[in-house]
Structure 1
C-alpha cells in the first residue's frame, strides 16, 4: 500500500517510533485544531502499523521485519502510551488500537508469549487499562470507548498471568458497579468481563481468589447486589453466572459458602416469585443446589421447613408446560426433598416468604 503521510516510515521500527511521537504531542496540544491535527496523524500511523502488523502491505513483511516492529513497540512502551491516550483518539483509531493489542498479545516466539511476558513484568499496564474503563465513562462517546477498552480487557483475561493481575487490582470491583448502573451496552460488557475473569482459569481463581474469605465474601455480596437490584438483563445474566460458578468443581469454597447462607437462600426464593419466567428458571437452578445439599446449615433448614407447604404448592404449579425431561426430573426431585422435610407443628413464627416485600410464592 502507498503511504500518504508527510513523514513515511523508513523501517519497521519507524512505525512504533513515529506513532509514539504523535501520541506525545497530545501533551502540548492546547487548541482544538492542534488536537484534531494530532488525532488525524495518530489515525494514519495506527492504520499503517495495523496493516504492516497484519501483513497487508506490499511487499509482505518478513519475519525479521516483524520482529523489528514488535521490538520497537516494546522499547518505546507504545502499548502503555496507546492506553494512556486512548481517550484522545477518534473512534476508528480506538478500534485499531484494540486490534493491535489483540495481535500483540498473540505474539509468540520460541514458544513464549512475548507480549504477555512483557506486560506481566510491567503491572502498571494492567492498572492503567482497568482505570481507563472508568475514564472512558466520563467521555461523550462513553459507550463506544468503554466497549473498546473492554475488548482489550477481555483479550488480557484469556492469559492466566494477566488475569492474575486483573484479579488483584481493586479497580476490578468497579465492573460490578458498571454492570448495575451503566447503560445496556456497558452493563452487558461489564458482566462479560466478570464472567470471563472468573470462568477462564479455574485453578487460578480457586487458589488465589476464592480461597481468601474476605475476597469470597465480597464477591458474593457484589454478585447478590446485581441479582437483587439490577435490571432484568443484569439479573438474568448474574443468576446464570452464579449458577455456572457454583457448578465448577474447583470452586467448592464458593459453593459451600453460598448454599449455607440463609440470606442467600432468601434472595433466591424471592427471585423464584419474579414475574419473569426466565428469572424463575434461573433461580430454580440455584435453588435446587440448596435442596441437594446433604449438610444444610440449621438456618437454611429452618427457612425451608417454615416454607415447606408454600414451596410444595409453588412447585406443583411451576412451569407445568415444560416438556424438558431433565427439568421435569429435577423439579420432581426438589418436590420430593421438600416433601421429606419435617412438618411445622406450630406456626408461631411467620414464614419468610409470607413476609417478603415481593410477590408471595403462593397467592
Structure 2
C-alpha cells in the first residue's frame, strides 16, 4: 500500500515521533491530546493499516538511533528524537503496547528504548546518569513499572527484560523498582518520594517477580529470573539496606516460592542465587540473620537429600554457611547436634563422585570437623555475636 507518509524526503525526528504517537492512539482507539493535519487521516485508517504504518515508523526511529551500514547516526538527530519521544510520552506508550506489536516491531522497540536510555548529549558529564534515566525516575517512573509488567505476556517478556536490564545498570532505577508499591492504574513512586526505611507490603511490582519466575512458562520465567538476579546482585548497598528492612518478608517468599519451587531450573538457580547473596561481604548482616534461623537450616538440609545432584550441590554451598558460622544460634546448634551422627555418616559419602573437585572435597572435610567439634548441648552465644566485627567472614570455606 502506497501511503501518504512516504514523501520521498527525510522526515524530522519530531514528525516521526508525532506520527508514531497518533498511530498508537489509533490502535488504542484514543483521540490524541494534540491534533495535527495528519490526525484525521490517521484516524481514518483501519487498525491493520495503522499497525502496518506503526511498524514503519518504529523502523524509521531505529534507523535514527542506530543507523545502518550505509548511514551513520547523527547526534543532533538522535538528540532531537529523544526530546520528541519524551515530549510525546512515547516510552510509556511503547512499554504498554509492546506485547501486541509484531515480532520485528518488538525488536525495533527494544533497540529504540535501549539507545534512548543510554543516550548522552555531547559534553554531558560522564559521571551523571543519562538524561532519560533521570527524567524517568523523577517524572515518569510508570515506564519502568510497565516494563516490569511486560512479564505478564510471553510476547513482551524478552524485549521488556532486555530494556529493563539496560535501565537497571543505574542505582536510581533499581531503587524505583524495589520500592514502588503502586497498583495498576495508580501513579508509580518518584525517586524523591522513596521511603527506604518503611517496610514493604509485598504487593509492589518487585514482589511480582516471584510469581513471574515460578508460575510462568519457561521463556518468561528465565528472563524474569535474569532481571531479578540483576536487581539483587548489582546494586549492593541499595539491596543490603532493602533486605535488612524487609528481611522476613523477602526470605519468607524466597524460601517458599523459589527454593521450594516445583520447577527444577527455578529451584536450582534460586539456591545458587541465595548462596551468592549470603556469601557477598556486603550482605554480612543479612547472612548472619539468615543463618540464625533453625527453619532455614532445616530447609537447607532437605536440599542435601534432593534426588537431583545439582540441587544437592547448590544446597551444600548454603549449608556450609550455617556450619562454618562460629556464632551459631541455639536453634541451629540444636538441630546440628541432634543430627550429628547422621551428618557424620552422610557427608563423607555426599556427592563422592566429584573426585576432581578438590575444593569441594576440602570443604566437606572442614564441615565434618566442625560438626565433630560441636558441644554436647547448645551454648547461648548471643552475647559474643554482638562483638563480631563486620569484616569477619564466617564463611571461611567459601
Place the TM-score, normalised by the shorter chain, in its bin: 0.7 to 0.9
Match of 1:10 in 2: 11
Encode CA deviations 1:135-194: one digit per residue, 9 max, x unaligned: x2xxxxxx2322222222222211111111001121111111121111111221121111
Determine the C-alpha separation between the residues in 1 that align with 2:272 and 2:78.
43
**What is the number of residues matched between the two proteins?**
329
**Counterpart position of 1:124:** 142
After TM superposition, list the pairs within 5 Å mapping 1:244-323 onto structure 2.
244-322=276-354, 323=356
Question: Residue deviations 1:28-57, cap 9 Å, x none?
Answer: 28xxx9322221111110011101211228
1:191-270 paired onto structure 2 within 5 Å: 191-207=225-241, 209-212=242-245, 215-225=246-256, 226-270=258-302
Structure ranking higher in helix proportion: 1
Q: Structure 1: how far apart are the matches of 2:346 and 2:360? A: 15
Residue 150 (structure 1) aligns with: 161
**Per-residue deviation at 1:87?**
2.8
Deviation string 1:225-274 (CA, Å, 9 cap, x unpaired) is: 21113311111000000000011111123201211111100000001001
Q: 1:132 to 1:184 in 2, by over 3 A?
A: closer
**Displaced runs of 4+ in structure 1, greater than 6 A?**
none
TM-score scaled by structure 1? 0.86
Q: In the alignment, is the contact (CA less than 8 A) between 1:236 and 1:282 conserved in 2? A: yes
Task: Determine if contact 1:308/1:343 at 8 Å carries over to the other structure.
Answer: no
Distance 2:102 2:371 in 1: 59
Deviation at 1:343? 4.7
Residue 5 of structure 1, CA deviation? 4.9
SS at match of 2:307: coil
Find the counterpart in structure 2 of residue 353 from structure 1: none
Aligned CA-pair RMSD: 2.0
Unaligned runs of 5+ in 1: 137-142, 345-363
Structure 2: gaps spanning 5 or more residues = 31-44, 181-203, 378-398
1:190 aligns with 2:259: no
What does residue 340 of structure 1 align with? 373
- DSSP-derived class of the 2:260 partner: helix
1:342 alignment partner, SS class? coil
CA contact (8 A) 2:275 2:318 kept: yes
> What is the Cα deviation at residue 58 of structure 1?
6.0
What does residue 171 of structure 1 align with?
Answer: 205
Alpha-carbon displacement from aligned partner over 1:257-306 (angstroms, at most 9, x marks no partner):
21111110000000100111111110110000000111111011000000
Deviations 1:170-222 (A, max 9, x none): 11111111211111112211211111010111011123x1231xx12111112
What TM-score comes out, normalization by structure 2 length? 0.78
Q: Distance in 2 between matches of 1:62 and 1:189?
A: 33
Deviations 1:89-129 (A, max 9, x none): 22221111111111111111312411111111222222322
Displacement of 1:61: 4.2
